[in-house]
Chains A and B, each alone.
Chain A
């Protein structure tokens, strides 16, 4: 089965760097997604990692270690608008198709 763990809440200061960790256990691996979700809004895609290493996209970077079942999302130069939940998700193979299984999310609060 799938098991995804993320910290429930984190706080950080505007302008700082924060790392949000995600550990997963899965039978088979088809990549890992990070989504951002502001309160009451739809999740929006941030990144997809399928190979080990760091992928950088502007202020956001995502890292994956398949051997350790571990990923993190790195947010630099934090802005107030980055206050949101960050969801880690892995596809689960079922019946020939992948469906996304989401972690409970990490609620990030950015303070001035």
Chain B
């Protein structure tokens, strides 16, 4: 158990809908990362937050958005869902944002499996 929690574990919805995925980082970790992993694909970095502020963006679609709240939990919002959005969505946390030259091991949550029908 990494200490990172994600809810829900599974989510089944229809095209065009909107869903919210939730992540609680490890106690004391200020940085949260979101990744998407489609079937047989690698982990695609979506977005990173540190202490409530967006720090880095990856290949995140405009239909997707995220935020980190004062209690440090984070939510990933996916809207106008398409079949191709079906994937595992992982949240990870680290103690620091990975300052240049630093070591930023990330601890991953169990993931949310999203199925869009």
8 Å CB contact of B105 from A45, A87, A93, A103: A45
Which stretch in B12-20, B66-74, B78-86, B95-103 binds the other chain?
A: B95-103
Q: From B101, which residue of chain A is reached at the shortest CB distance?
A: A30
The size of the chain A interface, using a CB distance under 8 A, is: 26
- Interface contacts beyond A97-B55, A102-B42, A102-B45: sample of 15 additional A-B pairs, CB < 8 Å, sorted by A: A30-B101, A42-B2, A42-B109, A42-B110, A42-B111, A43-B43, A43-B90, A95-B55, A95-B56, A97-B100, A98-B100, A98-B104, A99-B33, A99-B48, A102-B43
What's the least CB distance linking A1 to chain B, in Å?
A: 12
- The number of chain B residues touching the other chain, given as a range, is 20 to 34
Query: 3 closest A-B pairs (Cβ-Cβ)?
Result: A98-B98, A104-B42, A42-B108
Residues of A within 8 A of B101 (CB): 30
Q: Which residues of B contact A101 (CB under 8 A)?
A: 45
